[in-house]
Structure 1
């Protein structure tokens, strides 16, 4: 596979050369030559330790757009893909057809939702609305996948599609064949939209509604006139005309329709969006409902039902299941066609379960009535709700049609302003060059020397570190997902903080200190507007994952010198995380009242899916971070208090098994290796053991305490040896990403050097299967970037990095103010993985740690490498 992949990469290099970004007289070669954004779009080619409930997939797409763009763009091969976990990842390498080019806000590499998406598709001949119907075959041989540019040949239509993108605007160039019926279609991917065609300006404008509470606005502008246009108008909502007695809703305060219903409600139609609970007495999250009604057909013939929901749903007609989408986070519209007879009655039953965040339920029906063919075009001029909108024109052979699409969460006028700011002209080549320059600047913040393969892996990983979080700023303003108002200032979302606090945010502290300040100010704006610092915003609060690791992000930044935010407000918000139960749709630290009362989160209160042991471990670590923030602020009493709280992890460490273990409210342990401890502990007995072994190490803030539990440093060393020798470490998930660096803490740093170096070569490749697991908004990629450079932030909240064995021969980091920190590995090779000696700024250096203050001061850290460990260095 790798040989073929490198062949495809040549196409990208040729493109960069064409646009003048490659080596020229007196100019440095473009680092973009090394990047292919398809890395991670196929299953890992490595032998990965992974449980049955996960899959070693990067879950990334070939994203195009500026770093932290409001909207990224990518080819779409699927709306949803049914794999081990069903997720709306736009692009999968193993699929053979492209359905269009999606403006996406899917957090790259994560397992959450896409929101406010839209899709653009060129075609010839008859216009096909459905994503699968219109999809075109393509070959990976014709793809170019760079962070600033994507190109592919759509074989079924003989159209070459190219696009670039900035932060809020995409620029497409479609090269059409000769055709009297060439078209470009726009749809809302998961939900319908409202579309208006303005032919005198060669424009389409519109919006789609995001969870019923705000809108994704867009303006599409063409350089070619069109005379034919249409909106595929939505069918009517099923109301009292079709269901005279309405719908009865039975709500259950569980997500499985179990037991007796807790609340009964009657609706005249199913056309609702709920931000919190759907009815009084119903839980805001993880509820289920059954809707039933009698449909009376007004016509004989084919009826098309359209059911738009979030999360899992099933639909039955006369007890026959006709739609089956019983999946978490399955936002979208499902259709079913059925022949009905006029005057007959049909029982409709819809089952739905809600996971977390908002709820949507809409049922429409297209009756077998012949429509006036002029209706769609007339409605297009007025503006109408529809499944899609399209424009059609004649093209000559090899005619290039250009199209710009600007987006905004504020309004249509702001979308126009965004387009004018980013791509005011219809010059595609100029737009590509402009976008390439943005990424050149980003990636050149770190300059490296090494093998060509290592540079390709490194720069592709570094690219993924800058896709998210998502910057919502539009001209100094932002639309807040937390109070649905427009404010001045900063706001970021799609922060996978449970993952990214570990190394992605620490990388930004070094490379992007000002933007780190902006992100923290965005968190504090969310706190002011919604009542809490978000822990996984997508784009609003999501009640997923365990700890409140914004505590770690803020503390780590502050102790490393990041200023420019209200520290008193930040500390207030952190204390609220640590002491107050969640509300207003935000779960916060679930079980915090028990944690503060008895010192752990009990398993019989918070069982399966509740992750009670993980919560105890993570709350302890977050309290450690709060203690560091308190210390830096001179709050000595609170420092002492939270340092004591940070030791509560010991309450779920079990001497009998030598591992973490669930504990009930009465202090009784669960059975050893009880699978109900976590969803991730399911599967085989080996899967369960892997979970327990990884999770036991989730104590980055108190390695001496963990070693004491194990029986001393030698016992912890033996645990780690067995752990790594038997491939129990799962690099593709975050529970114990710091684990390889624990050897540094216990006097055996040469083992950290070997384990990290071995893993980087074993799991990461310049290949579509080159990521060992979900990238989670750049966390797995940033883990690689740090390891390849030779140091890692094993405990964010401490201004210290653990030294490992650099893969690259030379790394130069731009640390700001014109300063550079350089790491040089002399005599470096695959075999020479061990540090023999080191100097820092010309002086002998014998520590296996690096202080942040030394890094940002600039300087030079030089290692002499060798094939045998020097067991006297670094201890």
Structure 2
């Protein structure tokens, strides 16, 4: 039913026009007045369209040209992000928003893993329209343009021209506020749609109370694809405006009741009659445990706060987070790229518990658990983020890293096995390696230990030494190919790893398990587990078993010891993960002296690195290569690290919607930029050491949670100086190519004296 808007006299219309213009002006002034010194640098659209970076011209995998980020509105590491929706469905590898899409379908409360190729889950969408009621997406979708968009980490605004509506979003950790302003007198409808692709879900509208509630069941992918994940995305909505008319619908057909479930494209609508300038405020609570919990989250985090009040708090949260690293430099473009990267590096892992500590049991069947302290997190894109994104959290927010570590231990206790790649609160066995172990060891060695360390060690050891039974293994538990690895000291070509999303990739798995064994060995040593330490230390050298000294690279190998033929060093091979034998050869971050010896010495390593970069075979989108530019620090030519890192910073990253050259992978690509730009990178996060390079900025100040501050200065002899001539640490000469985590967090001052000519050792 359409609501008939009244006609007004010309004079009153003019007065209303003045009023709405004044209101809109005041709101815009309010929003931009709250933008702080650093949040204004963030470009949330970065990575939402195909890459336009210099590097995108020679990306190996053209599917990687989409970074798959979204313009997310929410505080750092929140439960739910809010984004404009230009893409329907929760289909794998389709983000909710792409910059170049022409239609908008609403504003989504999303659980999309930023920069990923997974799937959204448990989401719902709010879409306001005016005029005649329409519930079919093809009918109500709005053409839009970017001139009407404003986007920051805490705020999004869009004018819907056809409907003459202005929509604004802001959010808290678990909740969102949507403000809809009518730009003309009209009937206005708000459509609420659970976004289930499985024709599941539920929604109910209570017109008298102005409340809408529902849920969208979550399903697994990878292991157990299509099965229930044992929880749903729940929502509770309170509308601050009397509803005049309401109902539910399915696949464009309106139903004469106020509840609907388990049908295609279900939703509910609420209708209003608005004067020009009138507003509808929609408060939305979210949860992974129940509708009641979503309501409790809303009442706790927002209550009846105004839109502007919530916005102010979220602005402050982002400013506090971004200002942990303060950049001083005249290059405004580089600051925009840097703070956008820092924003992207703080999207995940995802907060999963309600305000009262309740969260869905890991790999459970709609069972819940409750924390006594701290928070529970999920969506660990572990193969990607253990390298730099999680170490960045360890550096800046050790308290948060501790919650991450505790969350992983809780998952292991509840599910029976430490997960490999825990997303949507389920076992997945996606990607390769056992890098929850690498992260736990990295955190432990940095003194982050406020959780059950003994249980953590038991779970890590179980992964390293035991094979799950067939049911658990098929469900995604344990290391893929562990029996072969233990028997041969490598995973032979005969073991095709059939029960995994990534099959085969035997050499890459061997290399990464060797690193994880090294990681666990460091904890075993500290805990006095001498026998485990000795076994794991030997196993950490298993990378040597897949290194063919005749070709000087890693290579597929059979059970009898013979090498896989033919050998193509620069081709994508079935025994390598997302790369080539040449690229993966450099993945021995824990034993560079051993790798150099296998290669034939430091000079050979340098020559091989020169060859990789000279042939343009370095692939920044392949995470196991992220440490490669810093490996020149282990040779006589560390200046080449400075050269290559500077080049990558300039070629792989840019501003604008195409500013990322590949999948951001839950912030790993962005975290690489943050580290590299400030002058150091965790080649081996477990060691607690960072390899040094020349900083990209004149001055950087890092504020640590212990109260200490570190000032990093770059003193250049010319404008284009990028090579390190000498370094001083707290006034004393510093003559090594790395710095420890322990020394960094003491604070002080590091000065890099840079020159435009490299310091070449003969």
Give the superposition deviation at 1:53: 6.1
Is 1:533 aligned to residue 550 of structure 2? no
1:663-812 equivalences under 5 Å are 663-673=557-567, 677-678=573-574, 691-812=580-701
Alignment partner of 2:213 out of 171, 181, 205: 205
Paired position in structure 2 for 1:97: 103
Between the aligned partners of 1:16 and 1:802, the Cα distance in structure 2 is 44
Q: Separation in 2 of the partners of 1:636 and 1:119?
A: 55
Matched residue, 2:494 = 604
For the 8 Å contact 1:733–1:773, the answer to whether it is kept is no
**Secondary structure, in 3 states, of the residue corresponding to 1:87?**
coil
> Is the CA contact 2:417–2:477 (under 8 Å) kept in the aligned structure 1?
no
What is the 5 A alignment of 1:58-207? 58-79=67-88, 87-191=93-197, 192-207=200-215
- 1-side partners of 2:748 and 2:29: how far apart? 33
Q: Which residue of 2 aligns with 1:548?
A: 434
Aligned to 1:469: 349
Return 515-524 or 473-482, whichever deviates more: 473-482
Distance 2:478 2:71 in 1: 33
Is the 2:157–2:167 contact (alpha carbons within 8 Å) kept by the matching residues of 1? yes
Tell me, in whole angstroms, the C-alpha distance in 2 between the residues paired with 1:720 and 1:599: 27
**1:20 aligns with one of 33, 53, 77:** 33
Residues 1:867 and 2:756 are matched in the alignment: yes
Partner of 2:742: 853
Q: Which residue of 2 aligns with 1:432?
A: 311
- 1:237-285 CA-partner distances (Å, limit 9, x unpaired): xxxxxxxxxxxxxxxxxxxxxxxxxxxxxxxxxxxxxxxxxxxxxxxxx
Residue 473 (structure 1) shift:
2.0
Aligned to 2:508: 614
Partner SS state of residue 685, structure 2: coil
Do the aligned partners of 2:420 and 2:479 also contact (CA within 8 Å) in 1? no
Q: After TM superposition, give the deviation of residue 729 of structure 1 in Å.
A: 0.9
* CA 700–407 in structure 1, closer or farther in 2 if over 3 Å, else same: same
- 1:144-181 CA distances to partner (integer Å, 9 max, x unpaired)? 11111111122332221110011111100112243543
Q: CA deviation at 1:677?
A: 3.6
Q: How far, CA to CA, are the matches of 1:52 and 1:428 in structure 2?
A: 43
**CA-CA distance at 1:661 after TM superposition:** 1.5
**Partner of 2:476 in structure 1?**
586
TM-aligned CA distance change 1:773 to 1:80, over 3 Å: farther
Any idea what the Cα deviations from partners look like across 1:614-668, whole Å, max 9, x if unmatched? 1111111110101111122232332221111011111212233322221223333
1:662 to 556, 566, 569: 556
Question: Is 2:486 the partner of 1:570?
Answer: no
Match of 1:453 among 333, 337, 351: 333
Cα 1:829/1:621, change in 2 over 3 Å: farther
Q: 1:845 to 1:18 in 2, by over 3 A?
A: same
Helix, strand or coil at the partner of 2:684 = coil
Aligned CA distance change for structure 1 residues 631 and 659 (closer, same or farther; 3 Å): same
The structural deviation recorded for 1:398 is: 3.0
> CA deviation digits over 1:85-132, x for unaligned, max 9?
x61211111111111111111110011121101111111233333434
How far is the alpha carbon of 1:567 from its aligned partner?
A: 1.5
For 1:403 and 1:667, how far apart are their aligned partners in 2?
65
Q: Report the counterpart of residue 515 of structure 1 in structure 2.
A: 400
**Residue pair 2:730, 2:748 contacting (<8 A) in 1 also:** yes
1:485 pairs with 2:374: no
Whole-Å Cα distance in 1 between the matches of residues 581 and 484 of structure 2? 22
Corresponding position: 1:631 with 2:631: no
Aligned partner of residue 498 in structure 1, secondary structure = helix
> Partners of 1:836 and 1:412 in 2: how far apart?
61
Q: Tell me by how many angstroms 1:828 deviates.
A: 7.3
Counterpart contact for 2:64–2:621, Cα < 8 Å: no
The question of whether the paired residues in 2 share the 8 Å contact of 1:229 and 1:377 is answered with no
Structure 1 residues 680 and 708, CA, compared in 2 at 3 Å: closer, same or farther?
closer
Q: Secondary structure at the match of 1:510?
A: helix
What CA distance in whole angstroms lies between the structure 2 residues aligned with 1:783 and 1:829?
A: 26
Provide the C-alpha distance between the structure 1 equivalents of 2:134 and 2:609, rounded to a whole number of angstroms: 57
1:16 Cα deviation (Å)? Answer: 7.5
Question: Given the superposition, is the C-alpha separation of residues 703 and 818 from structure 1 closer, same or farther in structure 2, using an over 3 Å criterion?
Answer: same
Residues 486, 658 of structure 1: alpha-carbon distance in 2 compared, 3 angstrom cutoff: same
Distance 1:223 1:830 in 2: 56
Q: Would the aligned equivalents of 1:809 and 1:828 in 2 still touch at CA under 8 Å?
A: no
Task: Indicate whether 1:833 and 2:712 are aligned.
Answer: no
Q: How does 1:344-383 map to 2 (within 5 A)?
A: 376-380=255-259
What is the DSSP-based 3-state SS (H/G/I as helix, E as strand, rest coil) of the residue aligned with 1:816? coil
Shift of 1:204: 0.7
Equivalenced residues, count: 707
* d(CA) in 1 for partners of 2:599, 2:449: 39
Does the aligned pair in 2 maintain the 1:617–1:699 contact within 8 Å? yes
Structure 2: distance between partners of 1:425 and 1:783: 40
- SS at structure 2 position matched to 1:415: helix
Matched-pair contact (CA < 8 Å) for 2:402–2:451: yes
Instruction: Tell me if structure 2 keeps the 8 A contact 1:78–1:89.
Output: yes
SS in 1 for 2:314: helix
Q: State the Cα deviation string for residues 756-810 of structure 1 (Å, max 9, x = none).
A: 0111011111221111211111100000000000000001110110001110111
Aligned to 2:239: 222
Q: Which has the higher helix share?
A: 2
Gaps of 5+ in 2: 1-23, 220-227
Q: Is the 8 A contact 1:407 1:418 kept in 2?
A: yes
Match of 1:420 among 299, 306, 318: 299
Q: Which has the higher strand share?
A: 1
> Do 2:507 and 2:576's aligned partners in 1 also have CA atoms closer than 8 Å?
no
Alpha-carbon spacing, 1:809–1:44, altered in 2? closer, same or farther (3 Å): same
Query: CA, structure 1 residues 801+401, in 2 after alignment: closer, same or farther (shift >3 Å)?
Result: same
1:404 and 2:412 equivalent? no
Contact persistence 2:505–2:577 (CA under 8 A): no
Tell me: CA distance 1:383–1:61, structure 2 relative to 1, closer, same or farther (3 Å).
closer
Q: 1:633 to 1:679 in 2, by over 3 A?
A: closer
Change (3 A) 1:830 1:474: farther
Q: How far off is 1:711 after superposition?
A: 1.4
CA-to-aligned-CA distance 1:797-842 (integer Å, 9 cap, x gap)? 1011000111011111112221111111112776200111111111
Question: 1:677-714: per-residue Cα shift (whole Å, max 9, x none)?
Answer: 439789xxxxxxx6222111111111112212221111
- What is the Cα deviation at residue 604 of structure 1? 2.4
Contact 2:166 2:183 in 1 (8 A): no
* Aligned CA-pair RMSD: 2.4
Distance 1:127 1:534, change over 3 A: farther
